[in-house]
Structure 1
Amino acid sequence: MKKTIVLLVAVLLTVGCKTSQNQSDSTELKELVSIMQGHYSSEKQALADKDYYNISLRMTPIWKSKGNYLFVEQAIFDKQDKPYRVRIYKVSQRGNEFISEIYTLKDEKAWIGKWATPEVYDQLTEADIELKSGCEVVLKRTGKNRFEGATGDKTCPSELRGASWANSKVTVTENTIHSWDQGFDKDGKQVWGATKGGYEFIKI
C-alpha cells in the first residue's frame, strides 16, 4: 500500500512538472508570435546608410485555429503592392527552442496585399503552400521579449544569383527585427544580401 502511494505521488509530481513546463513554453511561444507580428520599416537605417534600402516588412497572423502562422510580405517601401518576397511562417516550440518554418506559395500573386482583411487567408489551404526544407530559423529566448537565432549551416538551398545556399541570422525584440539574409555560391563566396550587417526593421 505504501509503495502504491509513493508511486502515485511520484507520478503526480512528474505530471505537475510537465504541465508547468508546458504552460511556461506556451507563454514564451505566445510572446514570440505576438512581438513578431506587425508592420516594420528599415527607413531609419536607410537614411543613415545609403547601402541599405527602405524596406517594408509585414507579418500578419493567419490560420489561428491551426496554430501560429504569419503571412509575410517584404517589399521596397514605395512599392508595397509589388513585394519581392511572399512567405508563410509557421512558429512552433521544441523544448527551449522556437522554430520558424518557411513556406512558399504556389500562387503568391493571388494573396498579395490581403493583410487589411486577413480573414481572406482562411481560403488558403496547406495544398497551396510548400515547405522550404532546411530553411527554418531556430531561435532561443535570450531575455524578456528578445529571441535570437539562425538557419542551419549550409542547410538552406538557394539558386538566386548563382547561389548554392542561403543563411539567415535573426534577432526579434518587442519593437524591432534584425535580419541578415545572405546567399553564397558553392565556393562560399557571398553573391547576394547585405555585406556589412543585417537590416534593422523598426515596428511602425
Structure 2
Amino acid sequence: MGSDSESSGGGGGGSGARGLVLKALFLFGGALLLKRLSKSTTRWDHARVVAESLSGQKFSREQASRDPDNYFNLRMLMCPATEMVDGSRVLYFEQAFWRTPSKPFRQRFYMVKPCPKEMKCDVELSSYAIRDAEEYKNFCDRPKDQRPQAEEVIGDIAEHLTTIHLSRCERGKRCLYEGSTPAGGFPNSWNGATYCKSELTIHKNGEVHTWDRGYDDRDNQVWGAKGGPYEFKPVPKSSYDDMFSPLSIPPFLLEKKIEGSFVLDE
C-alpha cells in the first residue's frame, strides 16, 4: 500500500511539473505572438504605403459623369522615378485630359518620406517643379531604359512648391491617410493668386482625392475646384480603352472653362 501510494504521489508531482512547464511555454509563445502581431508600423513603412498607393493610373471619370459642369475627366499618373540616399522615394507625377494622355498639362516630382519626429504626422509629401519638364512627358508610359535615369532625375528636381503632412486615418474610416498643407499654404502666383492650399486623402479602395486651390491677398479663391476635391479612381485597362464619352469637351472650349475650375499650372 505504502509503495503504491508513493508511486502515485510521485506521478502526480511529475504531471504537475510538466503542466507548469507546458503552461509557461504556452504563455511565453503567446507573448511572442502577441508582440509580433502588435508590432507598430515604422515611419518608413508609412512612407512606403503612401508611395505605393499613389502610384498608378487613376481617372476622375465617375465624378465628371455626375457633375460635368465642375469637373473634368482627367488622368492622374504617378510612378517611381528614383530613391534618395536617405531612403526618400521620388515619384513622377503628371495630369492630362483623358483623351490626350500624351499631352500632360501638369508635371511634378513628389518626394515621399516620414514626417520629422517632432511633428504629429506620419508622412511628408512634397512637390517639386521639374527643371526640364518636356523631357519627362509620358515618363511612366515609357520603357525604363528610355526614361531619364536616377542621377538625371535627382539633378532635375527644381524648386520646392508645396508640402502636405499626412496622418494615418482613424480606425473605422474608409481612408488610409489624409492631410493638408499648413494653414498658411504656400506662395503661388498663377491666375492672380498669392498663395495656394492642398488637401489629399488616400482611400483603402485605391482612390485618391486631391483638392488644390489658389487664393488672392484678400483670401478670395481664384483657381481650383470649389465644390470639393477631385476624385481619382483606378480604372482597369479594359475600361480605359472604352472610355469614349459624350462628356468630352472639344479642345477649343477647354481653355475658357478650365479657368474657373482647375489649375493648369502654378
**Structure 1 unaligned runs (5+)?**
1-19
Preserved CA contact (<8 Å) 2:177 2:202: yes
Preserved CA contact (<8 Å) 2:46 2:122: no
**Structure 2 unaligned runs (5+)?**
1-38, 236-266
Preserved CA contact (<8 Å) 1:63 1:121: no
SS of alignment partner, residue 42 of structure 2 = helix
Preserved CA contact (<8 Å) 2:84 2:90: no
Which segment drifts farther, 120-129 or 156-165?
120-129
Preserved CA contact (<8 Å) 1:101 1:131: no
2:198 corresponds, among 168, 190, 204, to 168
SS of alignment partner, residue 184 of structure 2 = coil
Preserved CA contact (<8 Å) 1:103 1:129: yes
Alignment of 1:74-89 (within 5 A): 74-89=95-110
Aligned to 1:102: 127
1:28 correspondence with 2:46:
yes
Q: How far apart are residue 196 of structure 1 and its match?
A: 0.5
Which segment drifts farther, 164-173 or 94-103?
94-103
* One-letter amino acid of the structure 1 residue matched with residue 167 of structure 2: K
Cα RMSD of the aligned pairs, angstroms, is 1.9
SS of alignment partner, residue 50 of structure 2 = helix
Which segment drifts farther, 28-37 or 186-195?
28-37
Q: How far apart are residue 162 of structure 1 and its match?
A: 0.4
Preserved CA contact (<8 Å) 1:142 1:148: yes
Alpha-carbon distance in 2 for matches of 1:166, 1:37: 24
Alignment of 1:3-22 (within 5 A): none
Preserved CA contact (<8 Å) 1:62 1:118: no
TM-score by length of 2: 0.64
SS of alignment partner, residue 83 of structure 1 = coil
Per-residue Cα deviation, 1:119-171 (whole angstroms, up to 9, x for no partner): 523152433221325x1111001158610000112231111100000100110
* One-letter amino acid of the structure 1 residue matched with residue 211 of structure 2: W
Alpha-carbon distance in 2 for matches of 1:138, 1:127: 25
Alignment of 1:91-170 (within 5 A): 91-94=112-115, 95=117, 96-116=121-141, 117-119=143-145, 120-122=147-149, 124-133=152-161, 135-143=162-170, 146-170=176-200
Aligned to 1:63: 82
Residue-pair matches, total: 183
SS of alignment partner, residue 56 of structure 1 = strand
Preserved CA contact (<8 Å) 2:92 2:139: no
SS of alignment partner, residue 227 of structure 2 = coil
Structure with the larger strand share: 1
1:72 correspondence with 2:72:
no
Q: Percent identity?
A: 26
Aligned to 2:230: 199
2:61 corresponds, among 36, 43, 62, to 43
Per-residue Cα deviation, 1:45-98 (whole angstroms, up to 9, x for no partner): 001111100010001112146431110001111121111110000000023421
Which segment drifts farther, 161-170 or 95-104?
95-104
Aligned to 1:53: 72
- When Rg is computed on C-alpha atoms for both structures, the one with the higher figure is 2
